Structure 1
């Protein structure tokens, strides 16, 4: 973490955007799977960094290293396997093994700040000071809110740098500024601020020490009262000239002078004779650089008034947040699940802080007309507090997808790049196996025209969690929307071919491919071939027959009547359930009535349908022993179900019916075409409440063949 070029935060209210702090993390922590990292380092090579020209330790790895390494490689989500490996490496004291294990572990779990500290200590004890610093810098890019890691890094520099050199002092100062900019607004950042103030005191910079405490008193922290008492003791122990910056000292001295002049004017017992007179031409004595005891006391009083006002404001902010902070019991990262109370506490805290920021934003809009800069600054501060709280939350709740989604929703109005960074951190580091947030990220990129990135996200996800239908279909949809129908078709064909070992999944993808070929490629012949091949593999899958029937009926019924009846006959001969066969028989009968060219075809379908109804009714009576218990038939495909009016047209002519309607199976049929029978249940046609004699009054129209 570069120390050069660090800006001093002169404005105590202005914070560095936390989303910017995390940007380098992506570059330094590549989004590769830990298993790939393990495979690349399986030969015992260092998977981390190595200084040029520096030779690594020679020799074999410890005896049990490869066994423990393989356990973590096979299952990188098993946290216990990782801890066993790291503990073993530490006990063996093998530096190369420790590096390989820690690099792979921290790539998968970068929020474990304790292991970053251990890694840096290992390098330092081995005499690799530069590597120890580099480890700390990598850790701070991964978890910039870690107060412990910042303190560890600063102590490492203090123990290794030559503090007699001016550049060393400048570097420490720069790192302190980076630290308070990144983690100084954490509620538990008090130790970092105290360390900064004490270091400035050791350097003899009493005015800088005052500035540090003045800044922390504007931040709601747990030990806000301690900082207040320390600053009071500091201001009363030294003259104002020594503890204030030249600008602040000049300001408070001028206030003292003005108050002194005003006090003299208001004295009622002062007479002209008592006033001090000087000879003509003699001016007021020049300032000798020292303040009188009275001046020092008065300036301290003025400082205390200003300090008390600042303290009261900060205390009010702390009180607002105290109960929320008290409810948080585990602010650090761990793979163990958080209980509901903890999750609810974070949700409530975030909702409250967001509401506070929104209120400040509304106030700032109203004050902008009046030119009030204070309200604008409060708006910026409120937004930064929300960002800091989200970053704190996503340390403890990094494995909970809902908090990442909440963060994305909050950042959406503030900028696309901020949202993209959050998605990248969530998907590439903390939630590599959660497909839903990857799909959301891909949709986000596609929505904003970044098609190439959306394709990369989905391809990477499919490599990480292969076999998910949602991911493959999302890839197909993305290519289709991009106009690349050939790529979309190739993806579906590949999936159909690979799923032959799973008949149910094969049927699912075959239906998708057939619809794609029929609707988009305008190739019913190819679609028919796909479905027929799928039926050969899964002859008992009713959905395949149903989609094939829909395909046949989508064309000209007069030209394709034979194909439709052939499809129905094939379904009736297949090993399907009786209920499914009844539905296909009903569809065939309906088609024969509407489009049949001969009465023989209608009579044949009618007799087949009656036979199926009687067989089903007989089985139902045998199973239930009663006709009272009815059950609804399962729908085959909601998307292609035929919608039929539930009532007859009011002008239905009273003419003898020439085509018997299908039976209603006990008065209720909720299959794909169950409502079709209600057409015939009008008063003018009589009721057909049972299967025993459903068409007795129409035998003269359909005599037995």
Structure 2
């Protein structure tokens, strides 16, 4: 793609629409070897390389405002503007060490910013460090191998620094070109890269190789597909067919055209023989000569063959054109995309995958010609190369995903969709995409990390699932959903003691935050009651929590449910004690009525004498008279409470409406994290998690609220 917005790059960091591998090799080896390694399955990535930031003592004195800007950027690493301010300042000061240090740190956090890789390479080249400049380009291309601009920058760097008189220079440049078109040549906007390759081969006097490159790009649906065909026709007309065609194709067409020519001449000679005077002989025709007429016929046959390829490719371009036109920002930026852009990417992916499915179901389709319904797949890697391991009919889908993950790098839904697509084909590739998302681009977004943990647990790697959750817990400490996911993981693994220990630690650590303390206490009590079969310990946990939060209605309701679930002959007194405690607590009138009614139901169902039942009934009636208008409110609230209590896990109820629609297979239990800089303390936790403990839907307490005595089962006293 053209370098859109490059003039503004130092200010707003707009970057290329490319994507791909992120390898963890910093050491420099020969560039051809590294570029070949880069073509190994673009979707696979390793962990982000650590920035080799020089120590301040080795850098010398920094510019006056460097430390202030450096601290601001590192204190808020998610603040893109702080980084660009730092980089702009270093560039204005022309301080090499400061610029190098800032670029290293910035590109670890924002590796998709292709413009800054170019700036970094230019910085090293200006300092005379050509080898380091090459290393920077190679590192950038490992991250974004679809970046046409970065490939061209790297190639121009080599053309400007290599001694072209050395015999190894030409093969090296050609090798880099090959890696470039294999990695980025199928991009819709890769025309400039193909043109550069063709022109370089022409400059070397390799007409046949230039024609071969043009022949390949004729099969790629690119924006300027028609200009490539015009260039091919011009190249063919300005050279003899033998100079531009492969020996095999030339001999095939030459034999075919000569046979056709011979048949035409025989027919013509027969006609002339009939009209020639008796005894006169016709002119002799040399059998072995390749006449200009024969060359012209060969050219015509070449164009007939390419016309079919061209028209098939034109159909592929036409199908993609409206998607490509709708994509307004194909490069990386931290600014959010509008909904139309997101819908366009989803629709584009849907269409590309549907083409793959259609071709797969077509029994008459050659499996090597199934990329988009076209006759051939463009830029096919040579046999035995790393990219040959990727199915040809799958490359276009993968490349589109990689392009999408540049413009939409900050959106979890696209990363999750890509992992789901890859999972059925290669677990290793799906893991690599999860790693790129969680360790580089979405370090502070929990949903994708939770999906990764679920993915690892599903495939049986519990240690990796634990590692992912532990890392997320360190990045976003105190996030309730992470703790609950860790508890559930250990429970499913049969390590109930670990689940209990995690919840006990959470209860102990949250005593200064009563709402959160009550939440974890309820979770722990349920674990002890339902799985540990230890109601005594569960009761103690709830009672201890009530000592801290006597006004928490959820604690009262859970404790009441625990008591009514016990042996009814032994728990009658405990139930009434629980109700009495709740009525004396500073609770809402509606909650008191509900608790009193629950106590009345228990007495009706299990009371051992009519006197005890009537006593409880009288107390309930007195409460209704005392609270007055709250009676109707409480009766109306029964339905709400019953709906909320259908699920046993209150957290599941609380977040059921928050789960992203694009990941139905993963039980997401968290709303989005807060905007950077938000006041978390005011929210009772990260983002909207406080709503778990404060909203009405957090009212599922493990019992059905079917009791309603508003009809007056007993006559009023």
Please confirm whether the aligned pair reaches a TM-score higher than 0.5, indicating the same fold.
yes
| Displacement after TM superposition at 1:632 (Å) | 3.1
* 1:650 matched residue in structure 2: none
Separation in structure 2 between the aligned mates of residue 329 and residue 589 of structure 1, nearest angstrom:
65
Structure 2 unaligned residues grouped into runs of 5+: 1-28, 275-279, 378-390, 649-699
* 2:624 matched residue in structure 1: 613
Contact 2:598-2:707 within 8 A present in 1 as well: no
- The one-character-per-residue Cα deviations of 1:370-409 (angstroms, maximum 9, x if unpaired) are x886569869554222221121121111112222233233
**If you compute each CA radius of gyration, which structure gives the higher value, 1 or 2?**
1
Separation in structure 2 between the aligned mates of residue 513 and residue 620 of structure 1, nearest angstrom:
32
* 1:84 matched residue in structure 2: 85
* 2:559 matched residue in structure 1: 548
Contact 2:124-2:132 within 8 A present in 1 as well: yes
| Residues 28 and 590 of structure 1, relative CA distance in 2, 3 Å threshold | closer
| Displacement after TM superposition at 1:17 (Å) | 11
Choose from 525, 528, 531 the match for 2:542.
Answer: 531
Q: Are 1:348 and 2:379 matched, yes or no? A: no
- 3-state DSSP of counterpart to 1:490: helix
Matches within 5 A, 1:284-683: 291-363=290-362, 366-367=363-364, 374=369, 381-598=392-609, 600-617=611-628, 619=629, 631-633=636-638, 635=641, 638=645, 675-677=706-708
Q: Are 1:230 and 2:231 matched, yes or no? A: yes
Q: Pairwise CA RMSD of aligned residues?
A: 3.1
Separation in structure 1 between the aligned mates of residue 40 and residue 608 of structure 2, nearest angstrom:
72
- 3-state DSSP of counterpart to 2:322: helix
| Displacement after TM superposition at 1:571 (Å) | 1.7
* 2:10 matched residue in structure 1: none
Please, which moves more after superposition, 595-604 or 437-446? 595-604
Separation in structure 1 between the aligned mates of residue 126 and residue 577 of structure 2, nearest angstrom:
82
* 1:269 matched residue in structure 2: 271
Please, which moves more after superposition, 214-223 or 462-471? 462-471
* 1:258 matched residue in structure 2: 259
Separation in structure 1 between the aligned mates of residue 633 and residue 213 of structure 2, nearest angstrom:
84
Choose from 43, 49, 54 the match for 1:29.
Answer: 49
Separation in structure 2 between the aligned mates of residue 630 and residue 316 of structure 1, nearest angstrom:
66
- 3-state DSSP of counterpart to 1:26: coil
| Displacement after TM superposition at 1:275 (Å) | 6.5
| Residues 580 and 6 of structure 1, relative CA distance in 2, 3 Å threshold | closer
- The one-character-per-residue Cα deviations of 1:37-78 (angstroms, maximum 9, x if unpaired) are 7xx96xx628xxxxxxxxx95422222111111111121111
| Displacement after TM superposition at 1:19 (Å) | 8.1
Separation in structure 2 between the aligned mates of residue 348 and residue 640 of structure 1, nearest angstrom:
35
| Residues 103 and 274 of structure 1, relative CA distance in 2, 3 Å threshold | farther
- 3-state DSSP of counterpart to 1:483: coil
Q: Which aligned segments of 4 or more residues in structure 1 are displaced greater than 4 angstroms?
A: 1-8, 16-19, 272-278, 371-382, 627-631, 670-674
Separation in structure 2 between the aligned mates of residue 359 and residue 593 of structure 1, nearest angstrom:
65
Separation in structure 2 between the aligned mates of residue 588 and residue 307 of structure 1, nearest angstrom:
86
Separation in structure 2 between the aligned mates of residue 676 and residue 200 of structure 1, nearest angstrom:
86
- 3-state DSSP of counterpart to 1:414: coil
| Displacement after TM superposition at 1:339 (Å) | 2.0
| Residues 605 and 640 of structure 1, relative CA distance in 2, 3 Å threshold | farther
- 3-state DSSP of counterpart to 1:399: coil
- The one-character-per-residue Cα deviations of 1:110-155 (angstroms, maximum 9, x if unpaired) are 1110000000000111111111111101111111110000000001
| Displacement after TM superposition at 1:455 (Å) | 0.8
Separation in structure 2 between the aligned mates of residue 426 and residue 677 of structure 1, nearest angstrom:
51
Q: Are 1:124 and 2:125 matched, yes or no? A: yes
Q: Are 1:139 and 2:140 matched, yes or no? A: yes
* 1:695 matched residue in structure 2: 715
